[in-house]
Structure formats: structure tokens, C-alpha cells
Structure 1
Amino acid sequence: MGCSPLRKLKTIRNRDPEAFTVCPTRFIRENTHKILEVYNFCSLLGEGTYGKVHLATHIITNQQRAIKVVSKRSIKTTKLRFEFTNEISVLKMLDHPNIIKLHEFFEDDSNYYLVTDYLSGGELLDFMIKNKVLSEQVTAKYIKQALESVAYLHSKNIIHRDIKLENLMLESNEPNALLKLIDFGTSVIRSSFKDMKNRRGTISYLPPEAFENKYNEKCDIWSIGVIMYILISGKMPFGGRNEEELIRCITRSSLYIKGPEWAKISPTAIDLLKKLIEPNPDLRISAHEALNHPWFSKNIIESNESSELNGILSNLLTFRADFKLQKAVMCFIANNLMGQEEKTELSRAFKYLDTKGDGKLSEDDLYKACTKVIGERISKDDIKKILKEIDVDGSGYIDYSEFLIASMNREKILSAERLEMAFKAFDSNGCGKITGEDIKEILDSHEIEDSFWNKIIAEVDGNGDGGVDLKEFKDMMLAIL
């Protein structure tokens, strides 16, 4: 098959050590260990075109993950190989509470392995089948989250191209479980949203312009409109006895909103639906515009538990890590050792503070939160200093993972058990101390000279033996409290 697709994912990064940042994407890498040395496979979750998805447990952290096992024999064509590598490339760029997270990937002689979040709640399709027609309140909750994920994607010039009920999954079976968008194999990254010519996606969810081989990011908006129609009515908006009839029905764009199932649907819901399933893509509403539609404010009451938010914001305002290794460990803990309940609580807070729904917090968002939630008088200059401390990738905003790192309960998260897990993960060869080589390996940063990593170790190497042992590691991390 030639050069491995995973090898081609390696990118040339800035070789200047001073430009190095410890951001969450650094941990998303090809793991060179054997998969069974890192994970215990538990059960089969499902089977698809390219392979199987297994539930597995990380041996060191005990975190549950979903592992997609892709047989090399199943991706012989250039098209399938592109979809596979494209999914990894796109997922490495994404950091949003409503988008599935890629943790790492492996390769052996027979298979590729993609390790992602385990979403125990299953597909939104199964949830709908179980509950039949959903109320406007429940539908609004899920459509808003789907739109937020798409608004974030479009802000990064990414078009999903295959949004459907099967590609929206629930994080858990809890009533307030987050919705997650999955399956980025057919997504595309574009420098500008010019019309695309190659039709991709599932026919039932495609807009009319897709069948003219001329469409853009608004195809994702149409797909969400189709999903909203299904959730409210329990039916597909367009149908046909065969593929040809279905395409003819979609291109005619005659939206049928009649019958007993629509009698109790509010005019505002129907108004949004028509703006999402608008035949003309130039007139079709954008994700950001849709999020400001009055239907959401009428059906979703944003919870503002002041005591909970107060504590989260207090953690955010007092976050400080003096050393790069501290930041790297906090980043690892936030992405790999936080329990689902802990992360869900912080995710809700992030989404509450993210008033624009663009998946990031600005200086203005932080300032408004401080004055509104905890009533603290704080200057804009202080806000700038706080944001600079938290914004590890230098984007000018607090991204989702950066928020998790800074706002988590440090006394709870930096327990002896979790610190020992983190230490074992960093101590890749099990020698009992963390070296510069270990940090370089876990952060997948081989392009930076060894002297840089040795300098990071020297900052916290109390006894000067060239490595950080468990005691030094714990002392370093507990200094953050």
C-alpha cells in the first residue's frame, strides 16, 4: 500500500523552542507502543464498512475509550485512504464540548486504531426511536448543540458534509448528557467557502444544490433542518420509493408541514425549520444566525447555578502554572484523567459563558462572567493577564480544553492517585523518573532539540539527577494549589 497514511500525518512544526506551547493537540499522536500494551479490549460496540468499534480500558488511567479498528485491507483505494487520514487530520484540529475527541492512534501490520471518547448514550437516532416524537423543549436542546458544533466547525473553515441522526451521539444516558458530532471522514477543510463540486454525504440529508454538484457549508445547515423535522414530527421531510424519486422530491423542495403531528408545533419552530430547510443556499440561515433564533430562548432555560459557577470561575481566575511541565501535566489530566461527571459539569459552564456559541471565550466573555456571576469588580487589564496565563496556545481566546485545565477543582483533581497515574503515563519507559526524552515522546515533539527538554526538567529537578522522580513530581504539582 506504500507509505503509511499515519506517517503522512506528521507535520513540520516551528523548531524554535521559545515558540513551543503545551496545548491539548500535542497529546493527540501516533502511539508507537503495541495497542494491547496500552489498552485492554472489553467488548464489541459495533461494526461498520471499514472495521469494528470496541470498548476498551486504558491500562494506566482506567479510562474507558472507544477504539475504531480499521483493517488495512479495507482501505485499498485512494478515496478510502483519504477519508481515513482526513478524519484524523480534522479531529486533531477540533476542541469543542459537542464534538467527539480523538485521543491517539496506533498502527500495526494488519490494522489502524483510532482511540476516541466512549459515548455510552448511543446514537440520537436510537434515542428518538425509543422516545418516539420528541417535545419542542427536548428537540431544541439537541438542535442547539448540533448548531453549536457546526458554528464552531464553520468558524474553522471545516464542513462536515454528512450530518445525520446516526452521526450525533449522546455522551451518556443521563438526562442532561451532551450531544456529540462524530464521523469526520467526509469532512473538508477549505480556505474559503466556495462551492464544492463532488457530492458527498447521505442522500436523505443532502440539500437540492448538492445534486447539481455545486454546494458549500450551508449543506450542514440543511442537514440539521432535516434532523429537526424528524425529531419534531417522527417522519422524514422528503421521501420516495427509490433513490431517483427521493432526489426528485428534495430538488423540488416542497416542505410538507401539515397533518396532526404539526397541530401542536409552535409557529417559531416552523419558522426556524423553514429557514434551515431553505432551498436557496444564499438565503439559508447560517449556524450563528440560527443560534440566535427566538425558538431556542422560548424552549431552553439556561441554568445559572451561581454557587457552582462561582467556584468554577474562582478556579479560573486563580489558575497559575509557573513551569511548562506543570502545564503539560494539567493538560494531560484534563484530557485523560477527568471523570465524565466532572467534565460534563465544566462543559455546561463553558457553554453558559460562551455567549456567542463559537466554542471559545474572549476577554469580553470573561469580563462579563466575572461581573455577572460572582459580582467581582475586575479591571480589563487584569482580565488580559488572566487570559494570557490560561491561553497556552496563544490564540487570544480560552479554548475548551484550556478552560477545563484552568477551571477544574485542583484540590480534587490533584489527588495522590491521579498524580501517580499521570506520572506513570509520562514515565514512558517505567524507569521511575521523568526525563526530557519522556516529555518529548508524550508531546510528540521530536523536532525540538534535547537541550530544551532538559531545561524543562532542570526547572523542577530538586536533586539534580537529570530526571523528575515521583516525589519531585508531586511537589511540583501540589505547588499549584
Structure 2
Amino acid sequence: MGCSALTKLKAKRRHQQEIFTVCPIWFIHENLQKVLDVYTFNSLIGEGTYGQVHLATHKLTNQQRAIKIVNKRNIKSSELKNKFINEISVLKMLDHPNIIKLYEFFEDDNSYYLVTDYLSGGELLDYILKNKVLSEKNTAKYIKQALESVAYLHSKNIVHRDIKLENLMLESNEPNALLKLIDFGTSIISSPFKKLKTYKGTISYLSPEVFENEYNEKCDLWSIGVIMYILLSGKMPFGGRDEGEIIRCITKGSFNIKGREWIKISPQATDLLKKLLNPNPKLRISASAALSHPWFTANIQEPSQSIDLNTVLSNLLNFRAEFKLQKAVMCFIANNLMSQAEKAELAQAFKCFDTAGDGKLSENDLNKACKKVLGYKISNEDIKKIIKEIDADKNGSIDYSEFLIATMNRDKLLSAERLEMVFKAFDSNGCGRITGDDIKELIESHEMEDSYWNKIVAEVDANGDGGVDLKEFKDMMLSCL
């Protein structure tokens, strides 16, 4: 019955097309269960002023996560509470391979719990301390990734305001591990034309204009310039015996690139460094412009041949999802069930196709990818259709999670074991069926009427009993193969 019933449902759906948006933020919200009912705590991996960070395992999916525990006694002031809430609000908006991912959060009488990626490679600072000065090629690799994360933030009018070595972490200990930007507690959403007034950040990384209490997103570029200087030389560009002396050195804006450690550094590297550390924010280079600097072309090689760009692009171009529930499930899988290893190759492919470095794929990006990988162009009309099919949140481009959904290995990710995991996650009350109420509860949406969610279920409810059982669920998902 499954296949024939599904075929009839597909035909019925073609006459009932309506706009449906799905995005990762759907699945990022407060989990009302007890954190110990959902996660097994494994070990303490970090400790700070406001709490601890533990390595934990998600009981249903077996995925490793980092859980930041913030003791409520440590954030009694409204400023600290706002910082914590701000971090959650901003992270929910972000979807980029070089930015830490938030999965969910919990609260009990004593603490808040923030569940994020587990970044086993540690801080870039520790990597530097271990390796001392990096080569230009390695420096270029990390600076480019930092700039890509910042270009994405700035495209969304978000200013990080505390970019430093401690807030850049490596996803793993692998040689090509992704760099991830973390700690969004001091970040702010700001109009491109609005000057920020509040003094935020870590002294040694702050730009001159921040001390004048009038700055914009260009402060993040200065911070990346400071990091680039440290990676190339092993020294801070602006030093001093105390904070006052450091601030005077920064506001003066002069730094030394004439020591012994700079002899082998290329003119292209120092050119970009000067543009990032220009004391005049109006003349300081932007993140998007910096990504086009020839220093990166000279030092960063094409992606490894181990990345099968042909297969990735083919999956992207041929992606189809007939039903709304299919799209929601695939978004859930891409954001909650894919391991770091499964995402790694796709993340590299995404960055290869994202020629503008803004964290999304445009029509122009896809045209260039087709010409480069396949050797021919696809018509603009077909490109528009492809983007329309994949663009689940209807913002006119393909975001990172949408790319993962369209290009993931469906044979592996839609295995019987994983489908049963997802079914259990959607079947919130464990009754053996997914109903409209289950979907509404999972994504915590109260904007739509119950009838809206019931229609989504009805699309794939082959026997018409008002819910999707496991067999109907598997039939629906396996039709994607």
C-alpha cells in the first residue's frame, strides 16, 4: 500500500501547493525536559567565571555535545543575564560552517544549560602556544575562515565585538579541521548606519575607535588584524605594562613589522595586515573585500581531490522533496543527526561554491560551480528552479543547512536506524504516530492554526487516520532516495 498510496498523495499535493518555510531555528528552543533525562554527562572540559562546560552524549542520537552550565547565582545582575539571553538569541539566527552551532537549552531552579557543538580541537590560542609561529599558508587558512564567519555576521548586521584567539576554536584535531567562532555574549544586531557607543571586548583586540565610544562593524576587522599579526609573528602588535599603556599604543595605531620574524613574510601578507589594522575605520578593509585579497589566492590551495565535488553538486542539482514533512525531517536530520565527520566534506564543498564568502549560495555561485565542476553552464531559469526547490526558508539563496539537506548522503542518513530515531523525536508523546500537535510542539510554533499542522500530516497520512505511523513515515522518507 505504501508506494501506491504515496503516489496518490503526491498527485493530490500538486493541486494543493502553498508556501511552506522550514529553517534550523525551528528546532532550537528551550527543552522542558530535565537535562539529565536527555543527556549523559561524560567529563568536565572547561571552567570559567560563570560556570562549567561538560562533554555530554545525547541519549537518543548518541551525538556528542558540549553543555555550558551557568549557575544562576553567578549572573544575578541584569547585565549578565542579558548577556546570556543575548547569546542564545544571536546563535539561534546563525547558520554557517565557521560558527559554533546551538542545539537547544535547558533551565532548572539552579542553572541554565546551553547545548552546542563539541569542538575537540580546542582553542586556536592553545594551538599557537604549542606550535609557536605559524607558516603563512596555515595563517592564511585560519584568517580566511575567521573572515568568512565575520563576513556572514556582517551580512546579517551582527557585530561580534569580542573576536580574539580564545574565541576561535578548532572543530577537531584533524589537519583540515574547521575553525569556529564562539562566544556571542557581547555581540549586537546593529544598523549599518548606526554607530555603537557601549565599550565591549578584550582590551588587546579592541580598535582605536572603540575607546572613543563611536564605532561600527569594522571593529571586528581590526580584531582579526590583531590575530593575523600574532599568528605571523608570535607577538601582540600593541603591548604595554598596563591597560593604560596598551590603550595609548592602540589609539596611536602604529605597529612594528620590521623585526627578524618579518623578514620572510610576503609583501601581500603585510599589505592585508595594514588594511586590517588601519586606525581609520572608514579606510579599514571590509570582511568581504578582505576575502578577495590576493594573499589568500597565493597561499590557499584548491580543495583536496578527496572531496567529490561532482557528486555533491549532482545531489544539489537533483534535490527534490515532495512533502512538507519531508523537508522538516531532513532539516532536523541535517541539524541534529549528522556527525562532524559527515558534515566535514560537505562544509568544504559549500565553502568552495560560496565564491563571495558570505555564507550562502546565490544564482551566480551555482553558475560558477556548474562551469567549474561540470564544465558547462545551466540556464538561469533552471538555476532559479533549483534554488527555489532547496531554499526552504524562502530568502532567495541556499543557506548552509539547506545545502547539507540537499547534498547529504541519503542512503546513509535515511537508514532504518536513523529514521526510527527521528520518528521518536517527532512522536513526542510516544503514541506511535506523528500528529499535527507533535510537530507544533517540536518546533514550539504558536503562530499557525492547528489546521495548518494537520494539513502537513494529512499530505502523507496514507490511511487517513489523522497521524503518520512508522511505516508511513519510512515510506515518505525513502521516496527521497
TM bin (shorter chain): over 0.9
Are the equivalent residues in 1 in contact too, given 2:41–2:54 (CA < 8 A)?
yes
Tell me what 1:176 maps to: 176
Tell me what 2:302 maps to: 302
Are the equivalent residues in 1 in contact too, given 2:307–2:345 (CA < 8 A)?
no
Are the equivalent residues in 1 in contact too, given 2:331–2:405 (CA < 8 A)?
yes
Tell me what 2:471 maps to: 471
Q: 1:440 to 1:167 in 2, by over 3 A?
A: same
The farther-off stretch of 177-186 and 288-297 is 288-297
Inter-partner Cα distance in structure 2 for 1:193 and 1:78: 28
Tell me what 1:49 maps to: 49
Are the equivalent residues in 1 in contact too, given 2:42–2:55 (CA < 8 A)?
yes
Inter-partner Cα distance in structure 2 for 1:66 and 1:120: 9
**Code of the aligned partner of 1:420:** E
Tell me what 2:212 maps to: 212
Tell me what 2:265 maps to: 265
Tell me what 2:69 maps to: 69
Inter-partner Cα distance in structure 1 for 2:440 and 2:417: 24
Tell me what 2:39 maps to: 39
Tell me what 1:192 maps to: 192
Task: State the percentage of identical aligned residues.
Answer: 76
Inter-partner Cα distance in structure 2 for 1:94 and 1:36: 27
**Code of the aligned partner of 1:74:** N
Q: 1:122 to 1:307 in 2, by over 3 A?
A: closer
Inter-partner Cα distance in structure 1 for 2:144 and 2:374: 27
How many aligned positions are there?
A: 465
Are the equivalent residues in 2 in contact too, given 1:414–1:478 (CA < 8 A)?
yes
User: 1:56 is paired with a residue of what secondary structure?
Assistant: strand
Matches within 5 A, 1:12-411: 20-303=20-303, 305=305, 308-411=308-411
User: 1:92 is paired with a residue of what secondary structure?
Assistant: helix
Post-superposition CA distance 1:215-259 (Å, at most 9, x none): 111110000000000011001111111111111111112201122
Are the equivalent residues in 2 in contact too, given 1:193–1:217 (CA < 8 A)?
no
Post-superposition CA distance 1:250-284 (Å, at most 9, x none): 11122011221111111111111111111111111
Are the equivalent residues in 1 in contact too, given 2:53–2:68 (CA < 8 A)?
yes
Say yes or no: does 1:459 pair with 2:459: yes
**Code of the aligned partner of 2:106:** F
**Code of the aligned partner of 1:260:** R
1:305 positional shift: 3.2
Post-superposition CA distance 1:189-231 (Å, at most 9, x none): 0123422111100000001111111211111000000000001
The farther-off stretch of 19-28 and 54-63 is 19-28
Inter-partner Cα distance in structure 1 for 2:183 and 2:367: 36
Q: 1:48 to 1:19 in 2, by over 3 A?
A: farther
Inter-partner Cα distance in structure 1 for 2:23 and 2:183: 23
Inter-partner Cα distance in structure 2 for 1:49 and 1:194: 32
1:44 positional shift: 0.8
Inter-partner Cα distance in structure 2 for 1:154 and 1:377: 31
1:19 positional shift: 5.5
**Code of the aligned partner of 2:107:** E
Are the equivalent residues in 2 in contact too, given 1:157–1:193 (CA < 8 A)?
no
Tell me what 2:13 maps to: none
Say yes or no: does 1:428 pair with 2:414: no
Inter-partner Cα distance in structure 2 for 1:197 and 1:120: 36
RMSD: 1.4
The farther-off stretch of 306-315 and 385-394 is 306-315
1:419 positional shift: 0.8
1:304 positional shift: 5.9
Inter-partner Cα distance in structure 2 for 1:265 and 1:180: 26
Are the equivalent residues in 2 in contact too, given 1:306–1:374 (CA < 8 A)?
no
1:377 positional shift: 4.8
Inter-partner Cα distance in structure 2 for 1:470 and 1:293: 52
Inter-partner Cα distance in structure 2 for 1:72 and 1:304: 47
Tell me what 1:8 maps to: none
Gaps of 5+ in 1: 1-16
Are the equivalent residues in 2 in contact too, given 1:306–1:373 (CA < 8 A)?
no
Inter-partner Cα distance in structure 2 for 1:244 and 1:292: 36
**Code of the aligned partner of 2:363:** E
**Code of the aligned partner of 2:273:** L
User: 2:396 is paired with a residue of what secondary structure?
Assistant: coil
Inter-partner Cα distance in structure 2 for 1:396 and 1:123: 35
**Code of the aligned partner of 2:250:** I
Q: 1:468 to 1:210 in 2, by over 3 A?
A: same
Post-superposition CA distance 1:38-76 (Å, at most 9, x none): 111111111112211111111111111111111112221
Inter-partner Cα distance in structure 2 for 1:289 and 1:383: 26
1:447 positional shift: 2.5
**Code of the aligned partner of 1:203:** I
Are the equivalent residues in 2 in contact too, given 1:137–1:300 (CA < 8 A)?
yes
Q: 1:81 to 1:314 in 2, by over 3 A?
A: same
Are the equivalent residues in 2 in contact too, given 1:61–1:421 (CA < 8 A)?
yes
**Code of the aligned partner of 1:300:** I
1:306 positional shift: 8.7
Q: 1:232 to 1:212 in 2, by over 3 A?
A: same
1:307 positional shift: 7.0
The farther-off stretch of 347-356 and 439-448 is 439-448
Post-superposition CA distance 1:356-396 (Å, at most 9, x none): 00111011211221232123553211111111000011100
Inter-partner Cα distance in structure 2 for 1:61 and 1:158: 32
The farther-off stretch of 372-381 and 182-191 is 372-381
Tell me what 2:10 maps to: none
Post-superposition CA distance 1:75-104 (Å, at most 9, x none): 211211111111111111111110011111
**Code of the aligned partner of 1:443:** I
Are the equivalent residues in 1 in contact too, given 2:98–2:145 (CA < 8 A)?
yes
1:465 positional shift: 2.1
